[in-house]
A and B are shown apart, each in its own frame.
Chain A
Amino acid sequence: MHRLITILFLGLCSLSVSAHNVVGGVYAIGNQIEGEVGFSNGDMAAAGTLIKVTDAEGNELANIKTNDEGLFSYTATRRIDHLFFANLSSGHLLELTLPAAELPDSLPSESVTGVNLSPQTMEVVAPSVTSSGQKTLEQMVERAVAKQVIPLRKELAEYKEKASLQDVIGGIGYIFGLCGLGIWWRQRQLDKQSKG
């Protein structure tokens, strides 16, 4: 009986309790955008949570799903601002933005369709030995830098999310201050009444 209760209790507790802030981040590695979404207590979003990708004007680009660890990835085809929306139910929404500036310069900034590919642009696209070598090098540098910077950015985001002791004490101070104001105001009313 006791074991049953324990199992039941643990089972209930393993459900992610959603009374927390939603946190997340998106990072570009070359033209790959990787992101994560989860709750401020360390739980990640449930696998299969839908992430809507749009451009700055709200045009939908794709719908992607998170994996088991709350991570998702999207391959950018244009150098534009990417917006990511996640809805983790129970009123938990998250909007993440990846500015165009973080994507590689090699991506076109406008959509390129097959129709307006003139021979001239074809020439530019056609790879020559030197440019492709340079491109690989650029990509390598980008990837290496991203690898170093992403952990820092994650840590910074975590740090920003965490309220410090100052915040806690400050909040309590505000509440007591308000109480003091109330008592002072009340006292003044009583004084006025007793005088008048």
Chain B
Amino acid sequence: MHIVDGALAVPVLAVGAALTVAGVAIGLKKMDYDHLPQVGVLSAVFFIASYIHLPIGFSSVHLILNGLIGLALGWAAFPALLVALFLQAVFFGFGGFLVLGVNVVNIALPAVLVYYLCGKGISSSSPKVAAVWGAAGGAGAIVLTTVMVAFSLMLSGEAFLLAAKVTFLAHIPVMIVEGFVTAAAVLLIRKVKPEFLNIKESSEYA
């Protein structure tokens, strides 16, 4: 998911950086400052998730969790992911500094979309329905991210279909895992801390 420096054309980098600035501005404006610790914790979760490689079959995958972050934070996903991606570039060498803007948009915009598309579903009174929406959000965010990564590469000269196919196929295991993880996380958080997902406690008992 992390595109490295040197892979993209300058206009793509500039647009990515501009969109990130806009997204972070909206995120900071919309963010409920009482939820700042939540934003920090999820930022830390993302920072670590990319570092832990889970062995599956002959290869390994790492979680991205942008679906879960989007469901919990909405627009505040932008500042949370900017900080996490910046620190990943510093500490782990993932991605790069010039390409930071594009990487933030590619990962945070799907998170925000998932927030709008699945946010209502996860607060459904039936846990089953909520879990399905959670899984859809977790897997959907990865699908959107792969499409955006492929799109960024296409704008920089790579053939879109080829880039999209390679990135998409490589991330199918991640989509499956993320779907399960996000569904499980949604179910757990609904029980123990519904306000974390912006679910009012009244709906819990309704």
Docked CA distance A178–B7 (Å):
30
Given A21-B93, A91-B8, A93-B4, are A14 and B47 also a contact pair (CB < 8 Å)? no
**Residues in A162-196 with C-beta less than 8 Å from chain B:** 163, 167-168, 170-172, 174-176, 178-179, 182-183, 186
The answer to whether residues A90 and B167 also contact, given A14-B57, A186-B36 and a CB cut-off of 8 A, is yes
Contact B163 A168 (CB under 8 A): no
CB neighbours (8 Å) of A170 from chain B are 91
Residue contact B47 to A18, C-beta cutoff 8 Å: no
Query: Assuming the A-B contacts A12-B173, A21-B94, A163-B91, are A95 and B167 also in contact, with contact meaning beta carbons closer than 8 angstroms in the complex?
Result: no
- Give the A interface residue count (CB, 8 A): 37
Q: For the complex, is A129 an interface residue (Cβ under 8 Å from B)?
A: no
A-B contact count (CB 8 A): 130
Q: Known contacts A90-B166, A171-B47, A175-B83; is A10 also within 8 Å of B149 by CB? A: no
Question: Is A102 part of the contact surface with B, judged by Cβ < 8 Å?
Answer: no
Among A161, A176, A182, find the residue whose CB has the most chain B CB atoms closer than 10 A.
A182
A13 at interface by CB-CB < 8 Å: yes
A92 in the interface, Cβ–Cβ < 8 Å? yes
Interface string of B1-27 (1 = CB under 8 A from A): 111101110000000000000000000
A125 at the interface (CB under 8 A from B): no
CB closest residue in chain B, given A16: B59
Alpha-carbon gap, A172 to B51, bound state (A): 12
CA A50 – CA B173 in complex, angstroms? Answer: 26
Closest to B42 in A: A175
Contact B3 A15 (CB under 8 A): no
A17→B37 contact, CB < 8 A: no
Asked whether, in the complex, the Cβ of A17 is within 8 Å of the Cβ of B83, the reply is no
Bound CA span A20–B84, Å:
16
Q: How many residues of B contact A (CB 8 A)?
A: 52
Q: Is the CB of A171 within 8 A of B91?
A: yes
B33 beta carbon closer than 8 Å to chain A: yes
Docked-complex contact B169 and A15, CB < 8 angstroms = yes
Is B92 a contact of A167 with CB atoms below 8 Å? yes
Most chain B CB within 10 A, of A13, A92, A163, is at A13
A94 CB → nearest B CB, Å: 8
Q: Does B56 contact A (CB under 8 A)?
A: yes
Contact check, B6 vs A17: say whether CB atoms are below 8 A apart. no
A31 to B6, CA, bound (A): 29
Write out the residue numbers on chain A whose beta carbons fall within 8 Å of the beta carbon of B60.
17, 41-42
Question: Shortest 7 CB-CB distances between A and B: which pairs?
Answer: A13-B57, A179-B40, A91-B3, A167-B91, A91-B7, A171-B87, A90-B167
Point out residues on B near A: beta carbons under 8 Å: 1-4, 6-8, 33, 36-37, 39-40, 43-44, 47-48, 50-51, 53, 56-62, 64, 83-84, 87-88, 90-94, 149-150, 152-153, 158, 162-163, 166-167, 169-174, 176
- 21 residue pairs A–B, Cβ–Cβ below 8 Å: A9-B57, A14-B59, A18-B167, A19-B61, A19-B171, A20-B62, A21-B4, A22-B4, A42-B60, A43-B59, A89-B158, A89-B166, A90-B167, A91-B2, A163-B92, A168-B48, A171-B47, A175-B40, A176-B44, A179-B36, A186-B33
